[in-house]
Structure 1
Amino acid sequence: MAACRSEDLRLQASSTLSWYRSSDDVERGFCSRCGGNLFWKAAPGIQTFVAAGTLDRPTGLRLAKHIFVGSKSDFYDLTDGLPQEQDG
């Protein structure tokens, strides 16, 4: 999920939100208390990509396809009938 503008992303609290430039092209937002991965954005960029597991329910989100299936572990069985891409 992506927030296209900073005003599209609403946080309940941000006192433990920290940003880290993990490469020349990417910044990552995480919780400085627990280390939880929350967001990432291309630098420079206007979209912030949100980790879906951080959203409160109900999210209304549905899977569209599985990506990077070629590198999944052998204990994952994908049997939901959604399209599968070997790479991203």
Structure 2
Amino acid sequence: MGKNAKLNGRCLCGAVRFEAIPLEHEMGVCHCGMCRRWSGGTFMAVECEGLQIVAGEEPAVYRSSDWGERGFCRKCGSSLFWRGVGGDRAAVSIHAFEDPDAFAFASEIFVDEKPANYAFANDTKKMTGAEVIAAFTAKQDAGNA
């Protein structure tokens, strides 16, 4: 997989087929309560740009907070992506891509919300919810300067 390569993905039933360009060959895991309820576990995703539906149906989009929304298949319910409201990038589920092994496990966020009954063995960068929000806010402020 080369840099800026478009990858194809789909939901479980194939009703939503998309392409996206991963920004890095790394995935992150979110342990926040919303992601765990939405995905049935941790949400494993890669940050992408150029997310486009190329066949089938448009995914349903649920606005889960003032600043974020989640996309999923209307037929099978597959969790597909999280994106900032009005954003041009999305955190796309690695499991929606054909080769989830293509992404190195690099980071975990909202580690302060992670239940105590599991832990990943990988050595990853870890951030609390407060650290994630501070970094997100700083990135937005820098973009508006």
Bin the TM-score by the shorter chain: 0.5 to 0.7
Please give the alpha-carbon distance, in whole angstroms, between the structure 2 residues aligned to 1:9 and 1:59: 20
**Residue equivalent to 1:9:** 51
- 5+ long unaligned stretches in structure 1: none
Of 74, 78, 91, which residue of structure 2 is paired with 1:49?
91
The residue identity in structure 2 corresponding to 1:62 is: A
Matches within 5 A, 1:23-38: 23-38=65-80
In 1, are the aligned partners of 2:51 and 2:89 still within 8 Å (CA)?
A: no
In 2, are the aligned partners of 1:39 and 1:49 still within 8 Å (CA)?
A: yes
The CA deviation string for residues 11-53 of structure 1, in whole angstroms up to 9 with x for no partner, is 4533262222233322221100111211121112111220112
* Change in CA separation of 1:10 and 1:44 when aligned onto 2, cut-off 3 Å: closer
Identical amino acids, percent of aligned pairs: 31
Compare the two structures and name the one with the higher helix fraction. Answer: 2
In 1, are the aligned partners of 2:109 and 2:128 still within 8 Å (CA)?
A: yes
* Change in CA separation of 1:41 and 1:60 when aligned onto 2, cut-off 3 Å: same
Shift of 1:10: 4.8
What is the TM-score of this pair, normalised by structure 1? 0.68
SS of aligned partner of 1:50? strand
In 1, are the aligned partners of 2:83 and 2:91 still within 8 Å (CA)?
A: yes
Tell me whether 1:74 sits opposite 2:116 in the alignment. yes
CA RMSD of aligned residues (A): 2.5
User: How many equivalent residue pairs?
Assistant: 85
What is the TM-score of this pair, normalised by structure 2? 0.46
- 5+ long unaligned stretches in structure 2: 1-45, 133-145
In 1, are the aligned partners of 2:79 and 2:93 still within 8 Å (CA)?
A: yes
In 2, are the aligned partners of 1:16 and 1:33 still within 8 Å (CA)?
A: no
Please give the alpha-carbon distance, in whole angstroms, between the structure 2 residues aligned to 1:30 and 1:9: 13
